[in-house]
């Protein structure tokens, strides 16, 4: 059994301070937080051992939007399905501290984030990961994520090589029926 427990952590909880300390140890506080506080529309899960947080994932809920170009009269197009706007979660940050890696916490954190994404009624969970994150690539492939190699346009800088990873969590009526059969 895993000694750490995977829990959603909110700023109101005592564990929030331990999460912030962990984010600082893995140097991800700048990306996971805004001015040291929770980002809007963002959910945080921690891998907790006693009062310590040793791993985390943060995901932001957002609409799925087709980018603007002259083809769309320079208007961004929110994607719809059955006249309903589609949303996704996008992974902001994800890490397990070195001493606790290869014990299944990364996979368990991803699964908790996927489960929440489904509960929120989103269509998919998506992330982008630079080409130097080979452990993360192996983890995502082991969990059946689709992979979309792409350059990431860094604001004001050179694009970075990497890949988007996407997993659908949306249950169609067909897939629900298939589960019932
Ligand atoms: C990516 C990361 C979060 C994985 O966390 P983890 O807790 O070690 O992952 P898990 O133990 O759940 O691994 C699950 C599976 O992923 C794969 N995997 C994970 N790390 C791997 C590695 N270093 N080499 C090869 N495969 C790896 C394996 O298939 C593994 O299953 P197995 O142990 O049964 O073989 C961790 O390596 C990390 O924090 N890296 C630095 C930060 C980072 O890259 N974050 C993501 C992008 S921002």
| Domains in the chain: ranges and CATH | 5-180 (3.40.630.30)
CA 129, 63, 124, 172: dihedral to nearest 10 degrees?
-170
pLDDT in tens, 59-100: 999 999 999 999 999 999 999 998 999 999 999 999 999 999
Question: From CA 22, how far away is CA 6, in angstroms rounded?
Answer: 14
Closest residue (by CA) to atom 28 of ligand 1? 139
* 29 Cβ contact partners less than 8 Å away, ≥ 6 residues apart: 20, 23, 36
How many angstroms does the Cα of residue 148 sit away from the middle of ligand 1? 19
Closest residue (by CA) to atom 42 of ligand 1? 95
pLDDT in tens, 125-160: 999 999 999 999 999 999 999 999 999 888 888 999
Question: From CA 57, how far away is CA 17, in angstroms rounded?
Answer: 15
Q: Is the CB of 133 under 6 A from ligand 1?
A: yes
pLDDT in tens, 26-70: 999 999 999 999 999 999 999 999 999 999 999 999 999 999 999
DSSP 172: P
């Amino acid at each position: 059994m895993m000694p750490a427990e995977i829990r959603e952590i909110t700023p109101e909880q005592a564990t929030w301070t331990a999460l912030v300390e962990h984010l600082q140890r893995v140097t991800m506080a700048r990306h996971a937080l805004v001015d040291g506080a929770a980002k809007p529309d963002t959910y945080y899960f921690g891998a907790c051992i006693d009062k310590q947080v040793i791993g985390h994932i943060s995901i932001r809920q957002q609409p799925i939007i087709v980018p603007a170009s002259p083809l769309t009269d320079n208007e961004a197009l929110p994607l719809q399905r059955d006249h309903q706007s589609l949303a996704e979660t996008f992974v902001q940050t994800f890490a397990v501290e070195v001493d606790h890696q290869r014990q299944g916490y990364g996979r368990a954190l991803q699964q908790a984030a996927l489960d929440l994404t489904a509960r929120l009624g989103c269509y998919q969970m998506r992330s982008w990961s630079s080409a130097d994150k080979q452990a993360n690539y192996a983890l995502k492939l082991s969990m059946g994520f689709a992979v979309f190699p792409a350059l990431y346009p860094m604001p004001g800088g050179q694009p970075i090589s990497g890949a988007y990873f996407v997993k659908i969590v949306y249950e169609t009526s067909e897939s629900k029926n298939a589960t019932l059969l």
